[in-house]
Chain A
Amino acid sequence: MTEFILRRMVFSAVVLVVISILIFVMMRLIPGSPAVVAYGADVTKEQIQEFEHNHGLDQPVPLQYLRWISGVMLRGDFGKSFVTDRPISPEVAHAFSVTLELVVWGFGLTIGLAVPLGIISATRSGGLLDHVSRLFAVVGVSVPGFWLGLMLIVYGAVRLRWFPAGGIVPPSQGLFQHLWSLLLPALSLGIYYMAIISRMMRSTLLEALSQDYVRTARAMGLSPRRVLVYALKNALIPVVSVSAMAIGFMFGSAIVIEQVFDIGGISHSLLSAIFQRDYNTVQAVVLIITAIFVLSNMIADILYGCLNPKISFVRQR
């Protein structure tokens, strides 16, 4: 068991290291000196040299990488922005906290809606709700989340005025208003996995309910509620695992969704850095998002392997 976990963790760590190298090299390969971007086209040679020395770009690339990565891992220091010359870490950290809040809200909504929907679809299989949820799943997986966000703004904010039209209400103006203003973006973020998880919950629960141990439980006269719990504990295992993946996915999706709702999170950091050619910031944000993605997949794998006593036992042997 521990061997399994360790192996997954080591693999993820290796992947992250390779990715960090990849990003780093990729940014360095871009033609033209960042100094040109920072100072403009009429930059002088001395300015370029000074800039490059300032940012350590005159050193051999492997050395640059080592300095960078050690800064990242030991101090959480991602270096300085090429454009603003300010440390990247505080700003990126702030941006991530904003996005994190959105993702948490989105994730909570997703699980809170999708799991019960899946359970009811399974227990009343063939009923109206089941068919509706199937339709919802097809649509939810296909419709781009950011388009849904756009349309929700058009109808929810402009037409119906139920939601604030311009951006997010800060917590200082009221916690409820703040959370309410995050509802539409959270929904847009979550709809994809809401569709996936609700159908998955349904199918895993249906399968669990058809198992022999459920038949035995019924034959022993356990109450229908208890029988459902028996089935659910088994059915939830793959769902929990997929939910972990959802988190990584949502961080990636947030890049587009935040633009729609004018949320100042990582999306803003990343995109403005890209358009300003601020490669130091780009590499920082990409590394962090990728790390979250890799970690969430790793957690999903580990959960799937560990939660089912039978599978983890087989793995031990």
Chain B
Amino acid sequence: MHCATFLTRAVRPGASSYDTMNRHLLDVEQLRVGFAIKGRTLEIIRGISFHLGHQEAIGLVGESGSGKSLTASAIIQLVSFPGRILGGRIHFEGKDLVPLPRKEVNRIRGAEISMVFQDPSTSLNPVFSIGTQLMDVIRAHQGVGRDAAVEIAVGILESVGIAHAKARLRSYPHELSGGMRQRIIIGMAVACRPKLLILDEPTSALDVTVQAQVVKLIRRLQDEQGFSILLITHNLDLAADICDRVIVMYAGEIVEDAPVQSLFAAPRHPYTRALLDCVPRLATVARGFDSIPGQPPAAGARIVGCAFAERCSLAFERCRHERPQPRQVDRYHRAACLLSANNLVVAGDAAGA
């Protein structure tokens, strides 16, 4: 069971958290993203702030609709119309990405920040060979000639574990399995040695057996190249596997932000607690499957107070009026809950039982 691995994995050397603001790779400040539909603007991401350090891996976890994918799209400046960034700053290596001109953003994409999407079966262009697509990425950022690009492409395919790499260059995506495609896409993403790799549900569309391979590949590549990872997922175990730190999102807000050990061992937000309860564990299977009663707020709806108040079994009167701000509850641990502000620890079985 994955929850054991984080206890044994060493903290990565060089992984930083809140220590030095200046040396963060990625610094998101009060980011707001919304959709403009029929004259109104629906705010989906309602002001989130977090940091990502060099060589650090963080997971962005939440239900669908929590805004985690949109956050990733915003960072790489690929929010598609009618969505747009409404406010806030995204500092990458000290430079704010939001006002950057298109050309600069294009230069950064692929070379400094790269992204892998969920479904490998639709992420590759069906009418171009994978060799062409690989080499396009290589030649977009490295001014190399065709032959050199071929060499590099072959090298990348081999490094992600594709056999007969040279012949494979001529294959078309539909000739390959889902796992192979995802590995190639990951290879494309790290081809130009980006500093930040964003992965949006990289294994959700894959078979369970293949998922493990891809996870291994990601971890190996990170060890070899030393890039930071931003992992978007609804799968807590996957986050535990890959990440040093986990950020939990709900209804477009960050509700908790903690190193992975702390999060799993001592969650400080009722939502996180409820999420962890939902994951079936051997010991608790006898209790039956839990699920959080109720629905998250409708996308873009105006929310007064805490977004989770309606579904929270620990909610009290203030929760419905006052929106909890993320507060430091421990050295590296933040939570946005009025309870944690009062230093009330959300203990194990007391919540939701």
User: Which A residues contact B (CB, under 8 angstroms)?
Assistant: 210-213, 215-224, 226, 230, 233-234, 237, 307-310, 313-314
The one of A220, A310, A314 that contacts B114, using a Cβ cutoff of 8 Å? A220
Given A210-B80, A310-B172; 18 other pairs, CB 8 A cutoff = A212-B122, A212-B123, A213-B124, A215-B123, A216-B117, A218-B78, A219-B109, A219-B114, A220-B109, A221-B137, A221-B192, A222-B110, A222-B136, A223-B140, A233-B128, A307-B127, A313-B172, A313-B175
Pairs across A and B, CB under 8 Å, 26 listed: A212-B117, A212-B123, A213-B124, A213-B126, A215-B117, A216-B124, A218-B78, A218-B109, A219-B76, A219-B110, A219-B189, A220-B110, A220-B136, A220-B140, A221-B110, A222-B110, A222-B137, A223-B140, A224-B102, A224-B106, A226-B136, A230-B125, A308-B127, A309-B174, A310-B127, A310-B173
Give CA–CA (A312, B312) in the complex, Å.
Answer: 53
Complex Cα distance, B133 from A234, in Å, reads 14
Distance in angstroms between the alpha carbons of A183 and B310 in the assembled complex: 71
Across the interface, which residues of B come within 8 angstroms of A216, CB to CB? 115, 117, 123-124, 185
Residues of B within 8 A of A221 (CB): 106-111, 137, 140-141, 192
B residues near A, CB below 8 A? 76, 78, 80, 102, 106-111, 114-115, 117, 119, 122-128, 133, 136-137, 140-141, 172-175, 185, 188-189, 192
Quick one: which of A210, A222, A224, A309 contacts B126, CB cutoff 8 A?
Answer: A309
CA distance A307 to B128 in the complex (A): 12
CB of B58, distance to nearest CB on chain A (Å) = 19
Expressed in whole angstroms, the Cα–Cα distance for A289 and B2 within the complex equals 70
- Check A220/B119 contact, CB under 8 A, given A230-B125, A308-B127, A309-B127: no
**A220 in contact with B137 (CB, 8 Å):** yes
Q: Which residue of A lies closest to B125 (CB)?
A: A213
Whether A211 pairs with B106 at a CB distance below 8 angstroms is no
Least Cβ–Cβ distance between A307 and chain B, in angstroms: 8
Chain B residues with CB below 8 A from A313, complex form = 172, 174-175
A233 to chain B, nearest CB (A): 5
Q: How far is the CB of A214 from chain B (nearest CB, A)?
A: 8
**Are B78 and A222 interface neighbours, CB within 8 A?**
no
Contact: B141 with A213, CB < 8 Å?
Answer: no
B293 CB to closest chain A CB, in angstroms? 34
CB distance from B169 to the nearest CB of A (A): 15
- Most chain B CB neighbours (cut-off 10 Å) among A210, A212, A234: A212
Contact B119 A212 (CB under 8 A): yes
Which residues from B are CB-within-8-Å of A308?
A: 126-127
Is B124's CB under 8 angstroms from A234's CB?
no
Q: Which of B80, B109, B127 contacts A233 (CB 8 A)?
A: B127
A212 neighbours in B (Cβ, 8 Å): 117, 119, 122-123
Interchain CB contact (< 8 A) of B127 among A215, A219, A234 = A234
Among residues of A, the one whose C-beta sits closest to the C-beta of B111 is A221
Known contacts A212-B122, A216-B117; decide if A223 and B106 are in contact (CB<8 Å).
Answer: yes
CB within 8 Å for A213 and B122 given contacts A219-B114, A221-B137: yes
Please, how many angstroms separate the alpha-carbon atoms of A310 and B173 in the complex?
8
Whole-angstrom CA separation of A202 from B122 in the bound complex: 21
CA distance A237 to B119 in the complex (A): 23
A237 to B110, CA, bound (A): 29
State the Cβ distance, B124 to closest chain A Cβ, in Å: 6
Alpha-carbon distance between A167 and B205 when the two chains are bound, in angstroms = 64
In the complex, which residues of chain B have a beta carbon less than 8 angstroms from the beta carbon of A237?
A: 127
Q: Which chain A residue lies CB-closest to B115? A: A219
Complex Cα gap A234–B185 (Å): 19
Sorted nearest first, the 10 A-B pairs with minimum C-beta distance are: A221-B110, A221-B109, A212-B122, A220-B110, A213-B125, A219-B115, A310-B126, A216-B123, A220-B137, A310-B174
List A contacts of B141 (CB < 8 A).
221
- A residues within 8 A CB of B128? 230, 233
Q: A226 to B135: give the CA distance in the assembly, Å.
A: 12
Known contacts being A220-B109, A221-B109, A226-B136, is A215 close to B78, with CB within 8 Å? yes
Using A219-B78, A220-B114, A310-B174 as known contacts, say yes or no to A213 and B136 having CB atoms under 8 A apart.
no
Cβ contacts under 8 Å, B185 to chain A: 216
Q: Which residues of chain A come closer than 8 Å to B109, judged between CB atoms?
A: 218-221
Chain B min CB distance to A311 (Å): 9
Nearest-neighbour CB distance to chain B for A284, whole angstroms, equals 42
In the complex, what residue of chain B is closest to A237 when comparing beta carbons? B127
How far does the Cβ of A212 sit from chain B's closest Cβ, in whole Å?
4
- What is the minimal beta-carbon distance from A306 to any residue of chain B, in angstroms? 12
Q: For the complex, what is the distance from the CA of A237 to the CA of B189, rounded to whole Å?
A: 28
Are A213 and B189 closer than 8 Å at their CB atoms?
A: no
Contacts of B140 in A (CB 8 A): 220-223, 226
Query: For residue B137, which residues in chain A have a CB less than 8 angstroms away from its CB?
Result: 220-222
How far in angstroms is the closest Cβ of chain A from B263?
28
> Would B127 and A211 count as touching, CB distance under 8 A?
no
Taking the nearest CB of chain B, how far is it from the CB of A171, in angstroms?
40
The complex places the Cα of A215 from the Cα of B79 at a distance, in Å, of 10
Q: Give Cα A314–Cα B173 distance, bound, in whole angstroms.
A: 13
- Which of the listed residues A221, A230, A308 has the most CB atoms from chain B within 10 Å of its own CB? A221
Which A residues are in CB contact (< 8 Å) with B133? Answer: 217
Residues of B within 8 A of A310 (CB): 126-127, 172-174
